[in-house]
Amino acid sequence: MGLLEGKTAIVFGLANDRSIAWGILQAFHREGATLGISYAGEALKRRILPLAEQLGCNWVEECDVSRDDQIAAAAEKAAAHFGKIDVLVHSIAFAQREELSGLFYNTTREGFRIAMDISVYSFVALAKAFQPLLNPGASLITMTYYGSVKVAPHYNVMGVAKAALEATTRYLAYDFGPQGVRVNAISAGPIRTLAAAGVSGFRDMYKYFADIAPMRENITIEDVGNAAVFLASDLSKRITGEVLYVDSGFNIVGVQIHPEFSQRQSASA
């Protein structure tokens, strides 16, 4: 029996088959969950429908999370279709491309507002809108990145947004705790997706990641999907307000040694 048998999960933020949301949806499907998928806008529909079909998912709804009316409509449609739900995944972030290169202090007021609105406030807004639909034991999950706690060059306003998102996770966890609902974040290592392509220097960061990470491997959307299964399932039923790193151990390294030096060391050991 699958770990998510009998549970209904809605995943926000599917853009294509490289999205982290796709890794999560596939893992949820494997574990027996009933699925709902939400995507950002009409332009994506053509790509999303065949993916939804692969998973036998027949709740596929557009929702631009910068729009309160669309969030309310998504919650209404979910209530009508599913009644109650057990898992909500927020796998959404956005910053204007010009904010993701160069100096952080050049961040514009509008660029800051947009990044915080779409990447952070949307999690609060979704949690509030879906609150009446959540079964006891339900799990809310969002996606963050290590640039929230340490500087990742060019990540800029998105690093600040992820710090706010992690704090948001804790505040939501506090509010939802008495209802028996858990709220956690997954901090994933770099993965080649559409969103990542917008960050200047991402290609190099991705390339050297495996040289520095203790496990010497990049991570995949399947790795994130499996961690999300744990957070969505009853196996994690007393875990809330946490940030779970899925990054081959990258975040534990305090002093990075040049990859060539560390390879010489391993060879001589």
Considering the complex, state which of residue 3 and residue 44 has its C-beta at the smaller distance from ligand NAP: 44
Binder among 65, 95, 125, 164 for ligand NAP (CB under 6 A): 65
Site string for ligand NAP, 5-44 (x = CB under 6 A): --------xxx---xxx------------------xx--x
Tell the smallest beta-carbon distance from residue 118 to ligand NAP (Å).
Answer: 5
Considering the complex, state which of residue 206 and residue 230 has its C-beta at the smaller distance from ligand NAP: 206
Q: How far apart are CA 172 and CA 181, in angstroms?
A: 10
Considering the complex, state which of residue 137 and residue 149 has its C-beta at the smaller distance from ligand NAP: 149
Size of the site for ligand NAP (CB under 6 A): 27
**Residues involved in catalysis:** 145, 155
Q: Do the bridges between strand 60-62 and strand 8-12 make them parallel or antiparallel, or are there none, so unpaired?
A: unpaired
Phi/psi at 243 (nearest 5 deg)?
-115, 115
Contact of 229 with 248, CB cutoff 8 Å: no
Contact of 8 with 36, CB cutoff 8 Å: yes
Q: How far apart are CA 259 and CA 253, in angstroms?
A: 13
Q: Quickly count: other Cβ atoms within 10 Å of residue 167's Cβ.
A: 12
Interactions with ligand NAP, residue window 182-221 (CB under 6 A)? 188, 190-191, 193-196
Residue carrying structure tokens 């053509």? 46
Binder among 17, 66, 226, 249 for ligand NAP (CB under 6 A): 66
Interactions with ligand NAP, residue window 68-87 (CB under 6 A)? none
Interactions with ligand NAP, residue window 80-139 (CB under 6 A)? 91-94, 118
Contact of 140 with 183, CB cutoff 8 Å: yes
